[in-house]
Amino acid sequence: MFNEVMKRAKDGSLFVFAVSVLLFSWTWITDGGAEEPDSLPTESYQISEGESLWIIAEETADYTEMNIEQTIDWMMKHNDMESAKVVSGKTIEVPIEVKGVAGE
């Protein structure tokens, strides 16, 4: 068994495996990205027929440092939603673009 491990170590596959495990662990531990900011400015948004949280998140994710999935999670959390299902006519809070630049 020891000889087998040494052969693998010599051809680099053991090293590649160890690095892969390390990178996978790091990605899993850090959750792959930025955390949801809690203090984003918001505005009320009335859901139109045929819209989904995904569509709304695509439009608003550019204004935040979150990806689409994180934006959906943010909207669900801040609107006390238990699922991503939406009903046309319902009003929800969505993150908006901050106007102006601080410090200028």
**Are the C-beta atoms of 47 and 89 separated by less than 8 Å?**
yes
Q: Say how many C-beta atoms besides its own lie within 10 A of residue 49's C-beta.
A: 7
pLDDT at 12 over 90: no
Is a pLDDT exceeding 90 seen at residue 88?
Answer: yes
Q: Is the pLDDT of residue 102 over 60?
A: no
Residue 8 has pLDDT above 60, yes or no: yes
- Choices 3.10.350, 3.30.70, 1.10.10, 1.10.287: CATH for 42-95: 3.10.350
> Mean pLDDT across the stretch 30-46?
70
Instruction: Give Cα 19 to chain centroid, integer Å.
Output: 25
pLDDT at 20: 74
What is the 3-class SS of 20-50, one letter each residue? HHHHHHHHHHHCCCCCCCCCCCEEEEECCCC
pLDDT band at 65 (very low <50, low <70, confident <90, very high): confident
For position 6, what pLDDT does the model report? Answer: 62
* Model pLDDT, residue 62: 79
Spatial separation of the C-alpha atoms in residues 63 and 37, rounded to whole Å? 12
Question: So what's the pLDDT on residue 104?
Answer: 46
The domain limits of the chain are 1-32, 42-95
